[in-house]
Structure 1
Amino acid sequence: MILEHAVLNVRPGRSEHFEEAFGRAKSIIAGTSGFRRLTLSRCLERADTYLLLVEWDRLEDHTEGFRQSPRYQQWRELLHSFYEPFPLVEHFVEVHRA
Structure 2
Amino acid sequence: MILEAVMLTVRSGMEEEYEDAFRQASEIIASMKGYISHELQRCLEVKGKYLLLVRWETLEDHTVGFRQSNEYQEWKKLLHRFYDPFPTVEHFENIPVL
| TM-score with structure 1 setting the length | 0.97
Gaps of 5+ in 2: none
Identical aligned pairs, as a percentage?
A: 54
Residue aligned with 2:38, SS: strand
Query: Could you tell me which residue of structure 1 aligns to residue 28 of structure 2?
Result: 28
Q: How does 1:70-85 map to 2 (within 5 A)?
A: 70-85=70-85
| TM-score with structure 2 setting the length | 0.97
Specify the code of the residue in structure 2 equivalent to 1:68: Q
Distance 1:6 1:78 in 2: 17
Gaps of 5+ in 1: none
Distance 2:47 2:95 in 1: 31
Residue aligned with 1:3, SS: strand
CA-to-partner distance for each residue in 1:42-68, whole Å, 9 max, x for gaps? 000002000000000000000000000
Distance 1:97 1:55, change over 3 A: farther
Deviation at 1:96, TM superposition (A): 3.9
